[in-house]
Chains A and B, each alone.
Chain A
Amino acid sequence: EVQLLESGGGLVQPGGSLRLSCAASGFTFSSFAMTWVRQAPGTGLEWVSTISGSGDSTYYADSVKGRFTISRDNSKNTLYLQMNSLRTEDTAVYSCAKGSVGESPSYGMDVWGQGTTVTVSS
Chain B
Amino acid sequence: DIQMTQSPSSVSASVGDRVTITCRASQGISSWLAWYQQKPGKAPKLLIYTASSLQSGVPSRFSGSGSGADFTLTITSLQPEDFATYYCQQTNSFPLTFGGGTKVEIK
> Chain A: residues with CB nearer than 8 A to chain B?
35, 37, 44-47, 50, 59-62, 95, 97, 100, 105-110, 112-115
Q: A107, B98: Cβ atoms under 8 Å? A: no
Q: A44-B87, A45-B44, A47-B89 are in contact. Are A110 and B101 (CB under 8 A)?
A: no
Are B87 and A45 in contact (CB-based, < 8 A)? yes
Interface size in chain B (residues, C-beta < 8 A): 27
| Nearest CB in chain B to that of A59: its residue | B94
**B residues less than 8 Å from A110 (CB atoms):** 46, 55
8 A-B residue pairs with CB within 8 Å: A44-B85, A44-B87, A44-B98, A44-B99, A45-B36, A106-B92, A110-B46, A115-B43
| Pairs A-B, 10 closest by C-beta atoms | A108-B34, A112-B43, A108-B49, A59-B94, A44-B101, A47-B96, A106-B91, A45-B98, A107-B49, A108-B46
> Which residues of chain B have a CB within 8 Å of any CB of chain A?
1, 32, 34, 36, 38, 42-46, 48-50, 55, 85, 87, 89, 91-92, 94-101
Residue of A nearest to B32 (CB): A106
A37 to B44, CA, bound (A): 10
CA distance A36 to B34 in the complex (A): 16
Q: Quick one: given A45-B101, A62-B1, A107-B91, are A100 and B96 in contact (CB under 8 Å)?
A: no
CB-CB nearest in chain B for A106? B91
Residues of A close to B94: CB separation below 8 A: 50, 59, 105
- Distance in Å: Cβ of B98 to nearest Cβ of chain A: 5
- B34's contact among A44, A50, A107, A112, by CB below 8 Å, is which? A107
Question: With A and B bound together, what is the CA distance between A97 and B46 in angstroms?
Answer: 11
Known A-B contacts A100-B55, A112-B44, A114-B43; A50 and B87 likewise in contact (beta carbons under 8 Å): no
